[in-house]
Structure 1
Amino acid sequence: MAKENLNWAVLGTGVIANQMAEALQKMGKNLYAVGNRTHQKAVDFAARYGVSKVYDSIDDMFTDDAVDIIYITSPHNTHYGFMKKALEHGKHLFVEKSITLNSRELEEMMALAEEKGLVLAEAMTIWHMPVYKKLWEIVQGGSLGRVQMITMNFGSFKEYNMKNRFFNMNLAGGAMLDIGVYALSIVRSFMEEKPDDIISQWQASPTGSDEMAAILLKNGRGQMATVALSMHSKQPKRAMISCEKGYIEIMEYPRADKAMIVDAETGARTPVEAGDTANALYYEMIDMEEAVRSGDASAMKLAYSRDVMEIMTRLRKSWNMKYPGEEW
């Protein structure tokens, strides 16, 4: 019998952890436990959200029998070590994007989760926002014809502070793992199969992280995509899915709650709205709890996360952009 009330623990106390605690309150419950490298930050976080337990050591989270699901919100390069310990101790895992640094790490963790009978998932908002579920249904219904071309833009202007996580190689900085993962997740979700023909250009930041990239992708069914990423020049977060009979435009796509469908012949514009941007983490966590209770984790789309990770790893290998201590 599946456990009805699932206890969540969060590793980290940053922006996402705060949003996660608020999402749990929307679900009518409080976060059970918190762990953080700086203990006082965890204490303060617990007081803010009515958290029952603060761990003196992060490792205590993994051995706590009362914990059902751990949400890992620490920097990308710490995920693998924490994931391994958590899975070895029987914890279901929800891991902030990017789920790992590379495909080798993800393949190993997927095998361990399967061996232990646990749900492993990436906290990718796109898999869970109601507007995407609606758009996928529309596309799969065939009224727009086949998807032909996908055009993705995402650019942030980050100041050249080489110690922050956006450029710091020791914190797995760079555009690909921070924002590219969103763009490529959109691409994968609207393509009929994974793209395998990939070419790119990239520009390194002064630290050697990927500051800019232009990527062209094509799959075996002839569907194509372009992705433009930048960390020191602003772009709109804009997605355009071009089909035979019209196109879908999505702005602010990481947590979108609306889109516009434009008819190819008449130019008629049909808005599509579903969900609420403010509830992005709520939708993720509802789906995660359902996956744990039912044993059906298909809504978590780990297979798509795996495909996206393979693309990102392949690109970084082609650029020879390897993080300190990283093993491909």
Structure 2
Amino acid sequence: MKKYNWGMVGTGWIAHEMADALNAVNGEIYAVADVKEEMLKKFATEKKISKTYSDPDRLVEDPNVDVIYIATPHTYHYEYIKKALNAGKNVFCEKAITVNSKQFDEVQKLAKEKNLILTEGFTLYHMPIYNKIKKIVDDGALGDIKLVQVNFGSLKDYDPKNRFFNKDLAGGALLDIGGYATAFARTFLAEQPNVTLTTVKYFETGVDEQSGIILKNSKEQLAVMALSMRAKQPKRGVISGTKGYIEVNNYPRATKASITYTEDSHTQVEKEITAGDAKEALHYEVEDMQRYIEQGHDDGQLSISHDVSHILSNVRNAWGMKYPFD
């Protein structure tokens, strides 16, 4: 596979993981940018990146950059995605790719017009186990899919000043962890939901601390989600049909799934499937992104991100919660 010149914007904790994956898969990282020069220099030295920019716009304008990876806070994603696409760069952006569906629709349209790849950094899109799970579902082994249940509970330290709780930085559980749950649900629903029922508990800063969400589509399939930033939950997803169910633990970076076939109300047959390595999760992201560029399409991943973005916006609209920049 061709070696690409990746440029990184942002040097936070997830950027450290991605830099390791890029060095392992691609061999090197071409350049990195961050407005905080001390962090930039330390990051570049640690990850063996020779080219640095204290102004991210200059990295975007660098004609040698093939792909831009964006790992800034949510509020800057839209701005840098647009700049990168307009500069002719393919873009891999961390979740949430944009803070609302209006922004998403704009960058999706721009990527299509520019004939460039735009991908969102959800690990579950790329873990090999999901190819096996999708085949089981698509082959009808579970019968008609009726219900998807999915949880994500993260216990963030109590700190109203942290970005996770900062409304100006698009904080809250929905955009931080809810995207994973929603992406899992949407992946296994036959079509986009058209009904949203939800309730929310707010943190003192005005962002969503925890919520319950029920989605339904025209095929009467349901998705039930529970999210929290102040109570740990197992990252557990269940896909249930008329002939059985699949249980996926640690679903963002899953490597195994348990299948229970329910031939009738009394008889159950259990089976386990495995694939992939959780430690390689970001390697799979890099490999897929580079494959998308080579083949000229993204295997439909951006269309799932489109639906997820619209679901998240619908949920927030139902709450009446707006960010200052909405």
With structure 1 as the length reference, what TM-score do the two structures score? 0.96
Q: Tell me the secondary structure at the aligned position of residue 164 of structure 2.
A: coil
1:146-295 → structure 2 map (5 Å cutoff)? 146-265=144-263, 266-295=267-296
Cα distance in 1 between the residues matched to 2:28 and 2:214: 44
Q: Tell me the secondary structure at the aligned position of residue 99 of structure 1.
A: coil
The count of residues paired between Structure 1 and Structure 2 equals 323
One-letter code of the match for 1:226? Answer: V
Cα distance in 1 between the residues matched to 2:134 and 2:280: 20
| Structure 1 residue runs of 4 or more that deviate by more than 4 Å after TM superposition | none
Q: By how many angstroms is 1:52 displaced?
A: 2.4
One-letter code of the match for 2:314? Answer: R
One-letter code of the match for 2:206? Answer: G
Cα distance in 1 between the residues matched to 2:109 and 2:147: 34
Q: By how many angstroms is 1:276 displaced?
A: 0.6
Is 1:303 matched up with 2:303?
yes
Q: 1:160-214: CA deviations, max 9, x gaps?
A: 2111122111221101001110001011101110111111111111011011111
The answer as to whether partners of 2:198 and 2:214 remain within 8 angstroms in 1 is yes
Cα distance in 2 between the residues matched to 1:37 and 1:258: 40
Is 1:118 matched up with 2:116?
yes
Q: Tell me the secondary structure at the aligned position of residue 106 of structure 1.
A: helix
Q: By how many angstroms is 1:295 displaced?
A: 0.5
Q: Tell me the secondary structure at the aligned position of residue 183 of structure 1.
A: helix
Aligned to 1:14: 12
Q: Tell me the secondary structure at the aligned position of residue 145 of structure 1.
A: coil
Q: 2:55 aligns with which of 46, 54, 57?
A: 57
1:88-107 → structure 2 map (5 Å cutoff)? 88-107=86-105
Cα distance in 2 between the residues matched to 1:56 and 1:97: 23
One-letter code of the match for 1:261? Answer: I
One-letter code of the match for 1:156? Answer: S
One-letter code of the match for 2:299? Answer: S
Q: Tell me the secondary structure at the aligned position of residue 100 of structure 1.
A: coil
Aligned to 2:314: 314
Q: By how many angstroms is 1:26 displaced?
A: 2.1
Q: 1:85-129: CA deviations, max 9, x gaps?
A: 111111110000010000110111111111211111111111110
Cα distance in 1 between the residues matched to 2:39 and 2:128: 33
Q: 1:235-269: CA deviations, max 9, x gaps?
A: 11111111111111111111111110012143322
Q: By how many angstroms is 1:28 displaced?
A: 4.8
One-letter code of the match for 2:273? Answer: V
The answer as to whether partners of 2:36 and 2:54 remain within 8 angstroms in 1 is no
Report sequence identity in percent. 45
One-letter code of the match for 2:281? Answer: A
Q: By how many angstroms is 1:222 displaced?
A: 1.4
Q: 1:22-80: CA deviations, max 9, x gaps?
A: 11222151111100120121111111111121013111111101100001011111111
One-letter code of the match for 1:179? Answer: I
Q: Tell me the secondary structure at the aligned position of residue 250 of structure 1.
A: strand
The answer as to whether partners of 2:211 and 2:227 remain within 8 angstroms in 1 is yes
Cα distance in 1 between the residues matched to 2:56 and 2:76: 12
Cα distance in 2 between the residues matched to 1:25 and 1:84: 26
Q: Tell me the secondary structure at the aligned position of residue 137 of structure 1.
A: helix
One-letter code of the match for 1:307? Answer: D
RMSD (CA atoms): 1.2
Aligned to 2:83: 85
One-letter code of the match for 1:323? Answer: Y
Q: Which stretch of structure 1 is more off in the superposition, 20-29 or 199-208?
A: 20-29
Unpaired runs of at least 5, structure 2: none
Cα distance in 2 between the residues matched to 1:320 and 1:253: 29
Cα distance in 1 between the residues matched to 2:315 and 2:231: 21
Q: Which stretch of structure 1 is more off in the superposition, 256-265 or 209-218?
A: 256-265
Aligned to 1:133: 131
Q: 1:7-33: CA deviations, max 9, x gaps?
A: 111111112111111112221511111
Cα distance in 2 between the residues matched to 1:220 and 1:305: 20
Q: Tell me the secondary structure at the aligned position of residue 87 of structure 1.
A: helix
Q: By how many angstroms is 1:83 displaced?
A: 1.1
